Amino acid sequence: MTQPQDPFSYPPIDPVNFDLIIVGTALSESVIAAAASAVGKTILHLDPNSFYGSHFASLSLHDLTSYLSSPHSLPSAAATTTDSDDVVVIDFVQQPLCSDAEIATYDESAFLSENSRKFSIDLGGPKALFCADKTIDLLMKSGAAQYLEFKGIDESFVYEANAGLANVPDSRGSIFRDKKLSLKEKNQLMRFFKLVQQHLDDTQEEKIPEEDLEIAFVSFLEKMKLPPKIKSILLYAIAMLDYDQDNNEVCIELLKTKDGIDSLALYSSSVGRFPNAPGALLYPIYGEGELPQAFCRRAAVKGCIYVLRMSVVSLLMDKVTGSYKGVRLASGQDLYSHQLILDPSFMIPSPLSSSPRDFPSEKLQMLGQRDIKGMVARGICITRSSIKPDVSNCSVVYPPRSLYPEQLTSIKALQIGSNLAVCPAGTFILYFSTMCNDADEGKKLLKAAMNALLTLPVSGNSESIPSVQSDSEDIKPIVLWSAFYIQKLIMCKLEFISSTPTPDGNLNYDDLLDATRKLFNQMYPDEEFFPKSTSPEDPTDEDDNGLTLDS
């Protein structure tokens, strides 16, 4: 990462009073900045990094390595001022969201170094959008779509034990063409899709009974007498579930039938929505980091003020009432706002020993307590060849127990090639992720998934990874470079200070944006989320608006 210049060489921020101050430019923060700007709020949007996106950024190879390797540290304020008469100053602590990073370069280090800037690697990957996602609708509604271009993900695969990659049959045509499904399996799947289609069709009277909609989806599929292979595809490759639905002891989220049907509906309505998208998924050209930037540009056009390379070091609270007043920047400047949104890595230390005796500190105790709802283990690989010949961009799901018997979670993977401008020609980036309870468990899962499809050069701890049979038809791509890291899942809210959701384990963004919209509604209950308006300031050139999809 290029060394940030003297952060205090900026002019002081002017004005000093805002409706909202936002710290961090991740996707949620950026969406809220755009939504609040659209309804006329005055906003200051800061990021301590020299790049946009926070945990949703797409970085060069060098910047990614630096980001994962170096722990964050908050600079102390340039001007050491004492508490003024009416505010209490409480210093922030910054706890990195990423931890347990392991980075290794196996081959071609000179090539990788020379081409660092040709990489645009997602911190929160694997991430993609379904063509029928609510995210697509939000991009259009907000106007952010005009800054983005997408391409379709060519193929979707599911990993089968001892058999390798099988196509996800996601349409009538693909079921017909599939070479690995038996005729009986094809008929079963066709009948099931037809049943779902009829259920979703408002003109049809034949519906799935209400009592069936409330039972576990896995039970419903068994009731339909679908074979295990089909069940696995529906549950993990199409509904994208994380946890083993057949294991009642450990299954944290047992999906109901009605939610399963909704997942199938999203998937099936995604296939074919855009003429040039071969499958259900889209990916932004240049990486997922383009998404927060698109919303930030949208906010800036509406008057939001942007500052990079500027952190906040302290919270300013009213001395008497204990309510929020503002923040102190690393430059020493104090700024005030009605509301504050914080990147989830910013925290208040729990024991407030330095606060005055009569200060009502119970409120801050709540902010110090973070709900850690789980962890996502992420892995990234760079290869010289594709996991599937002649396929540049594809997604892969490893259902529970497809790698080894004790595998309790799904693993998601995404391969992106150079035609999406995220890596040099002739290379591929693969992203892996899975839910886990601790770092060792997560990395074990990821390494097993990688070894199934890639040749990961032998390292000391590879012996502990269960060996997996590989598809002998294909030569495995060799990994040039890899990274592993753990991201925490955190959420909390306290009156005028909010914290945005962290990147989750989902492939798409819908859950995250639902949480973001809820946060916006809590903050501004009387305002509409991106109201439709034809602003005279917006460009009238229609040809330049709208979502663009490259084939």
Asked if 336 interacts with other proteins (CB under 8 A), we say no
The reply to whether omega before 15 is within 30° of 0 (cis) is yes
344 within 8 A of 490, measured Cβ to Cβ: yes
String marking each residue 103-122 x if it binds other proteins according to CB under 8 A:
--------------x-----
> Interface with other proteins includes 19 (CB under 8 A)?
no
Nearer to other proteins, 289 or 344 (CB): 289
φ/ψ of 102, rounded to 5, equals -130, 120
Pattern 518-547, other proteins, x by CB under 8 A: -----------------x-xxx-xxxxxxx
Tally helices (H) and strands (E) across the chain: 14, 24
Nearer to other proteins, 118 or 401 (CB): 118
Is 129 a binder of other proteins (CB under 8 A)? no
Q: Which of 179, 200, 252 is CA-nearest to residue 244?
A: 252
Instruction: State yes or no: residue 1 binds other proteins (CB under 8 A).
Output: no
Cβ-Cβ contacts under 8 Å for 279 (sequence gap 6 or more): 152, 153, 154, 155, 156, 170, 270, 271
CB neighbour list of residue 109: distance below 8 Å, 6 or more residues apart: none
Closest to other proteins by CB, 162 or 551: 551
| The binder of other proteins chosen from 103, 175, 254, 307 (CB under 8 A) | 307
Measured from the CB atom, the residue of 13 and 479 that comes closer to other proteins is: 13
User: Considering only residues 306, 432, 484, 524, which one is a binding residue for other proteins as defined by CB under 8 A?
Assistant: 306
- Is 385:108 a contact under the CB 8 Å cutoff? no
Rounded CA separation 411/240 (Å) = 10
Please, which residue, 309 or 476, has the CB nearer to other proteins? Answer: 309
| Member of 23, 310, 327, 411 binding other proteins (CB under 8 A) | 310
444-457: string of b/e by CB count within 10 Å (b at 16+)? Answer: bbbbbbbbbbbebe
How far is Cα 420 from Cα 119, in angstroms, rounded to an integer?
11
Q: From the CB of 2, what's the least distance to other proteins, in Å? A: 9
Peptide bond into 169 cis (omega under 30): no
State which of positions 275-304 bind other proteins (CB under 8 A).
275-276, 286, 289-290, 293-294, 296-297, 300-303
- Which residues from 141-170 bind other proteins, rule CB under 8 A? 145-147, 149
In whole angstroms, what is the distance from residue 326 CA to residue 355 CA? 17
Residue 22 binds to other proteins (criterion: CB under 8 A): no
Q: Site residues (CB under 8 A) for other proteins?
A: 10-11, 13, 47, 51-52, 117, 139-140, 145-147, 149, 274-276, 286, 289-290, 293-294, 296-297, 300-303, 305-310, 419, 421, 535, 537-539, 541-551
